[in-house]
């Protein structure tokens, strides 16, 4: 009850437009909750790509920090389209979301002003090239840490753990990424992790591929798709925009999100890891999680940092 | 008054009829106690009569008279028929196919305008301005009205009907998607943008609204083309029969002159004059009509077609420019569409002239036609310059300024942006509208002239032919009476 009160209070205080219908105990009928797969399936060569630089193992005020301070603004690659994570509120035109809260904390630490940020919208495909080219200092954009990417960019410690999960309508018989998908149409974004998983085996479902994960929600609402297979973080954003849609079953993969930076900016990586430690410890992470995600992705704790 | 017919004297058949006056009835009577006892069959008898008629001068005159009258009447009838066919086609151009083609173009334009308008409205934070929703509503109402009109006027064309059915079926769906997009957008949900992009895809996909409207436009334009071809087809048969009739009249008069030494036979002279008038009228009238129709075709089908293509291109470029911002970071495909669209509209050089607009300039034959196109070219050049600046702002992360540079309003530093790409778009659209109106006017007057040039000809040809036939018969009759 206390939690519910806190939630209600927060809901009233946080300027979140059109707060999603809370899927709480009041929800009738059995709602299958998200459960996280605990098993790791790291590849042989690269185990635990989420291990990052320890802030205490070297300086966190070097060339990169000096460069940012000289420029006066932190240049961050973000998404404008991920509801709850990084999106532009159409009514105010301002950026908001879980990723954006983290960006502000980093900017405040480095530059002393949480608004000293130049937000640059980067398409998914441009995230790594932009970091390598130095057009952005970092990318905070629901970016999964994996073995392929750590060859090109440096990641902070994980700040969230997501996984591929099924999103469907309330009245659907689909129970998760399992045989209940047989004969159904599942929508996913072309080239996404969900697309790869469906190619490995779709449990008898027909796969519909669209350009953008959000297009799947349109297809679901129009009744052209029966379910959406996407990252539960993005799925949560979709569920928050449609009170009759929710995540079902368990996550099929485990995808830690990290802040991506240039491999050469070791001081910046340590700096961000230090900010993250404080962010997790002083309740900032929990506040942001409350504001944006808890309603649709309940029961998640900040992942513990892992260092090299 | 008697005379001796000349010629044919050496012919053995002449003996029987020569000098023997034929009774009033004109039917030659076989000499009494005629050929053998056997009963003759009817056809042999009438063949003999014909032969007999052809062997006497009055008989020959009768045949000549009947032939001349028949030829002249045939000339009049063929002319009336052929000209009427062309006149109906010219009338179709003015009354049916040209308006239908214009209606189809307007359906196309309204749909593209609705799409561009609604995407622009999405860039305004919060509620859409009234001007935007009004313009969108007008476009949709206009499109539905015109679709209904096209359906009523295109009976008998199954191809047109298929496209109209597609339009009728898809337009309400598009409106639903836009409504869903706006509702979600009002609530601050990014899925609104996804709905809008989906609606735009439905509008533009193959077999979608714009493609159906385009096909309908092609069908109506083809029909306009075939009406033009029918109206401009040369009336060869009419010319030929006319030439033969005149030739026959001349021959008959020459024969008359040689046999009687009289220069003029008034009846036949009148018949010749009437036939010559019809032939001259036919040649002059139809040539005039052809020229006028040719002129109207250059403006109607070709110039307006190019201008309409340009207008649609402008609207689509505007939609793409807006959607690039609506897509927020995943709008590269729209930006590419914009660049491609601008290239086909105005050529690859942002500061030059090319593409469809260059074609429109070529087709404009006077300053009234080319001035608005030149103005459109200038606006497009400014637009492309401002668009480049806007993309730079967006790429640099200044979304607020980018939006202000597209639709106006305050940039990130709070300054009011006046020189927007929206102004350029409005200017281009207005200039092209002006150009279309100008061409439409020229088309209308030329097509009207062309049609009017043929209007009286069928009646005139018929009346004059009757007159000519009467003249020929009277002329021959006068000669015949000399044998009584």
Task: Tell me the mean pLDDT in the region B174-187.
Answer: 91
Query: In this predicted model, what pLDDT tens digit does every residue of A15-38 receive, in sequence order?
Result: 443 333 333 333 333 333 334 444
| Cα R_g (chain A), whole angstroms | 19
Q: Is B258 on the interface with A (CB under 8 A)?
A: no
Q: Is A53 left (phi over 0), alpha (psi -120 to 50) or beta?
A: beta
Q: Which among B233, B260, B269, B252 is positioned nearest to B85, based on CA atoms?
A: B233
Q: Is B138 left (phi over 0), alpha (psi -120 to 50) or beta?
A: alpha
Cβ density class B127-150: b for 16+ within 10 Å, e for less: ebeeebeebbeebbebbbebbebb
Q: What whole-number percentage of chain A has pLDDT above 70?
A: 85
Q: Which among B459, B18, B421 is positioned nearest to B282, based on CA atoms?
A: B459
pLDDT of res. B320: 92
Residue B250: pLDDT over 60: yes
CA distance B424 to B197: 24
Query: In this predicted model, what pLDDT tens digit does every residue of A82-110 receive, in sequence order?
Result: 889 988 776 677 889 999 999 999 999 99
Q: Is A90 in Cβ contact with B185 (below 8 Å)?
A: yes
CA distance B459 to B471: 18
Residue B342 lies in a domain: yes
Chain B nearest C-alpha distance from A121 (Å): 5
Q: Which of B178, B197, B325, B329 to mutate to test the interface with A (most CBs of A within 10 A)?
A: B329
> B329: pLDDT confidence band, cut at 50, 70 and 90?
low
Chain B nearest C-alpha distance from A215 (Å): 6
Residue B11: pLDDT over 70: no
Query: In this predicted model, what pLDDT tens digit does every residue of A155-176 receive, in sequence order?
Result: 999 999 999 999 999 999 999 9
Q: Is B396 in Cβ contact with A120 (below 8 Å)?
A: yes
Q: Is A123 in Cβ contact with B188 (below 8 Å)?
A: no
Q: Is B394 in Cβ contact with A87 (below 8 Å)?
A: no
> Chain A to chain B, count of Cβ pairs less than 8 Å apart?
84
Q: Which among A263, A266, A275 is positioned nearest to A62, based on CA atoms?
A: A266
Q: Is A122 on the interface with B (CB under 8 A)?
A: yes
Alpha-carbon separation of residue B351 from A267, B278, B342 (angstroms): 47, 57, 11
Structure tokens at B191: 């899925």
pTM: 0.76
All structural domains of chain A, each given as residue ranges with its CATH number in brackets, are: 55-160+256-292 (3.40.190.10), 164-248 (3.40.190.10)
pLDDT of res. B22: 42
> B424: pLDDT confidence band, cut at 50, 70 and 90?
very high
Residue B409: pLDDT over 90: no
B188 contacts in chain A (CB < 8 Å):
17-18, 89-91
Q: Is A80 in Cβ contact with B328 (below 8 Å)?
A: yes
Q: Is B399 in Cβ contact with A123 (below 8 Å)?
A: no
> A120: pLDDT confidence band, cut at 50, 70 and 90?
confident
Chain B residue whose CA is closest to A95? B399
On average, the pLDDT of chain A sits at 84
Residue A189: pLDDT over 70: yes
B403 contacts in chain A (CB < 8 Å):
93
Residue A58: pLDDT over 50: yes
* Among B198, B327, B328, beta carbon nearest to A218: B198
Task: Tell me the mean pLDDT in the region B343-370.
Answer: 90
B178 contacts in chain A (CB < 8 Å):
none
Across the strands, what pairs with B145?
A: none
Residue B396 lies in a domain: yes
Q: Is A115 on the interface with B (CB under 8 A)?
A: no
pLDDT of res. A5: 44
Residue B439 lies in a domain: yes
Chain A nearest C-alpha distance from B178 (Å): 12
Residue B5 lies in a domain: no
Which has more pLDDT, B224 or B127?
Answer: B224
In the stretch 365-394 of chain B, residues with CB closer than 8 A to chain A read 394
On average, the pLDDT of chain B sits at 85
Task: Tell me the mean pLDDT in the region A242-267.
Answer: 93
Chain B nearest C-alpha distance from A214 (Å): 6
Residue B92 lies in a domain: yes
pLDDT of res. B412: 83
* Among A18, A81, A118, beta carbon nearest to B397: A118
Q: Is A123 on the interface with B (CB under 8 A)?
A: yes
pLDDT of res. A15: 40
Structure tokens at B178: 């836009």
Q: Is B196 on the interface with A (CB under 8 A)?
A: no
Which has more pLDDT, A20 or B416?
Answer: B416
Residue B181 lies in a domain: yes
Max avg pLDDT among B3-12, B137-146, B221-230, B294-303: B137-146
B193 contacts in chain A (CB < 8 Å):
81, 214
- Domain span at residue B73? 61-481
Query: In this predicted model, what pLDDT tens digit does every residue of B374-393 receive, in sequence order?
Result: 999 999 999 999 999 999 99
**Between vectors from CA B340 to CA B336 and to CA B346, what angle results, nearest 5°?**
140
Task: Tell me the mean pLDDT in the region B61-88.
Answer: 91
Q: Which of A18, A97, A214, A230 to mutate to test the interface with B (most CBs of B within 10 A)?
A: A214
Task: Tell me the mean pLDDT in the region A141-151.
Answer: 90
Which has more pLDDT, B5 or A274?
Answer: A274
Chain A nearest C-alpha distance from B390 (Å): 14
Domain count along chain B = 1
Q: Is A90 on the interface with B (CB under 8 A)?
A: yes
Q: Is A141 on the interface with B (CB under 8 A)?
A: no
Task: Tell me the mean pLDDT in the region A274-301.
Answer: 93
Q: Which among B116, B107, B140 is positioned nearest to B317, based on CA atoms?
A: B116
Task: Tell me the mean pLDDT in the region A62-74.
Answer: 94
pLDDT of res. A151: 93
pLDDT of res. B484: 67
Chain B nearest C-alpha distance from A183 (Å): 25
Q: Which of A172-186, B29-43, B94-108, B432-446 has the lowest mean pLDDT?
A: B29-43
Q: Is A223 on the interface with B (CB under 8 A)?
A: no
Residue A130: pLDDT over 70: yes
pLDDT of res. B152: 87
Residue B240 lies in a domain: yes
Task: Tell me the mean pLDDT in the region A68-82.
Answer: 90
pLDDT of res. B59: 85
Q: CA end-to-end span of chain A, whole Å?
A: 42
pLDDT of res. A91: 67
> B28: pLDDT confidence band, cut at 50, 70 and 90?
very low
* Among B184, B195, B329, beta carbon nearest to A122: B329
CA distance B318 to B46: 84
> B331: pLDDT confidence band, cut at 50, 70 and 90?
confident
Q: Is B406 on the interface with A (CB under 8 A)?
A: no
């Amino acid at each position: 009850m206390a939690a519910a009160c806190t939630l209600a209070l927060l809901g009233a205080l946080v300027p979140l437009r059109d707060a999603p219908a809370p899927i709480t105990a009041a929800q009738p009928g059995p709602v299958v909750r998200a459960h996280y797969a605990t098993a790791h399936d790291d590849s042989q060569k690269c185990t635990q790509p989420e291990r990052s630089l320890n802030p205490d193992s070297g300086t966190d005020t070097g060339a990169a920090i000096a460069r940012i301070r000289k420029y006066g603004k932190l240049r961050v690659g973000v998404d404008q389209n991920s509801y709850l994570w990084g999106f532009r509120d159409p009514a105010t035109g301002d950026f908001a979301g879980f990723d954006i809260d983290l960006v502000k904390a980093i900017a405040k630490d480095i530059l002393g002003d949480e608004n000293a940020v130049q937000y640059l919208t980067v398409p998914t495909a441009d995230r790594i090239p932009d970091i390598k080219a130095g057009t952005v200092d970092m990318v905070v954009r629901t970016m999964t840490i994996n073995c392929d990417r750590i060859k090109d960019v440096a990641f902070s410690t994980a700040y969230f753990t997501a996984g591929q999960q099924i999103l469907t309508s309330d009245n659907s018989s689909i129970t998760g990424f399992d045989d209940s998908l047989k004969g159904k149409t599942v929508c996913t974004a072309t080239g996404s992790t969900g697309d790869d998983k469906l190619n490995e085996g779709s449990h008898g479902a027909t796969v519909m591929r669209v350009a953008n994960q959000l297009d799947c929600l349109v297809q679901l609402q129009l009744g052209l798709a029966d379910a959406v297979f996407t990252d539960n973080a993005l799925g949560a954003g979709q569920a928050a925009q449609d009170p009759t849609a929710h995540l079902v079953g368990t996550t099929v993969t485990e995808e830690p999100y990290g802040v991506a930076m240039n491999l050469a900016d070791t001081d910046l990586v340590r700096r961000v890891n230090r900010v993250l430690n404080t962010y997790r410890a002083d309740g900032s992470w929990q506040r942001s999680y409350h504001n944006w995600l808890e309603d649709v992705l309940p029961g998640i704790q900040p992942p513990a940092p892992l260092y090299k | 008054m008697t005379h001796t017919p000349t010629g044919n004297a050496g012919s053995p058949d002449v003996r029987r009829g020569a000098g023997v006056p034929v009774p009033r009835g004109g039917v030659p009577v076989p000499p009494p106690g005629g050929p053998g006892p056997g009963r003759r069959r009817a056809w042999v008898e009438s063949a003999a009569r014909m032969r007999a008629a052809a062997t006497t001068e009055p008989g020959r005159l009768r045949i000549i008279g009947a032939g001349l009258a028949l030829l002249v009447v045939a000339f009049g009838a063929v002319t009336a028929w052929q000209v009427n066919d062309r006149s109906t086609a010219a009338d179709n151009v003015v009354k049916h196919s040209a308006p239908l083609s214009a209606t189809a173009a307007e359906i196309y334009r309204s749909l593209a305008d609705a799409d561009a308008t609604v995407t622009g409205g999405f860039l305004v934070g919060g509620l859409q301005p009234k001007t935007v929703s009004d313009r969108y509503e007008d476009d949709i109402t206009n499109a539905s009205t015109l679709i209904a009109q096209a359906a009523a006027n295109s009976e008998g064309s199954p191809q047109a009907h298929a496209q109209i059915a597609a339009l009728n079926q898809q337009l309400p769906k598009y409106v639903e998607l836009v409504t869903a997009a706006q509702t979600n957008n009002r609530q601050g949900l990014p899925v609104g943008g996804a709905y809008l992009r989906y609606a735009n895809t439905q509008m533009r996909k193959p077999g979608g609204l714009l493609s159906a409207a385009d096909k309908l436009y092609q069908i109506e334009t083809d029909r306009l083309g075939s009406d033009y071809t029918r109206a401009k087809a040369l009336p060869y048969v009419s010319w030929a029969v006319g030439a033969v009739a005149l030739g026959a009249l001349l021959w008959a008069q020459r024969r008359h002159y040689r046999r009687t030494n009289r220069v003029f036979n008034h009846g036949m002279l009148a018949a010749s004059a009437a036939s010559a008038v019809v032939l001259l009228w036919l040649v002059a009238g139809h040539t005039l009509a052809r020229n006028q129709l040719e002129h109207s075709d250059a403006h109607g089908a070709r110039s307006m077609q190019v201008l309409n293509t340009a207008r649609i291109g402008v609207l689509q470029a505007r939609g793409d420019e807006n959607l690039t911002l609506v897509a927020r970071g995943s709008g590269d495909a729209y930006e590419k569409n914009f660049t491609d669209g601008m290239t086909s509209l105005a050529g690859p050089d942002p500061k030059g002239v090319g593409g469809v607009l260059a074609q429109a300039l070529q087709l404009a034959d006077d300053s009234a036609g080319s001035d608005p196109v030149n103005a459109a070219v200038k606006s497009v050049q400014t637009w492309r310059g401002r668009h480049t600046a806007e993309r730079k702002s967006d790429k640099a992360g200044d979304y607020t300024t980018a939006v202000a540079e597209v639709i106006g309003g305050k940039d990130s530093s709070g300054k009011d942006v006046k020189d927007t790409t929206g102004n350029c778009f409005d200017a281009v659209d207005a200039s092209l509208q002006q150009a279309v109106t100008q061409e439409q006017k020229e088309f209308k007057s030329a097509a009207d002239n062309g049609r009017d040039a043929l209007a009286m000809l069928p009646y005139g040809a018929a009346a004059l032919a009757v007159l000519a036939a009467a003249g020929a018969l009277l002329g021959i009759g006068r000669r015949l009476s000399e044998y009584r």
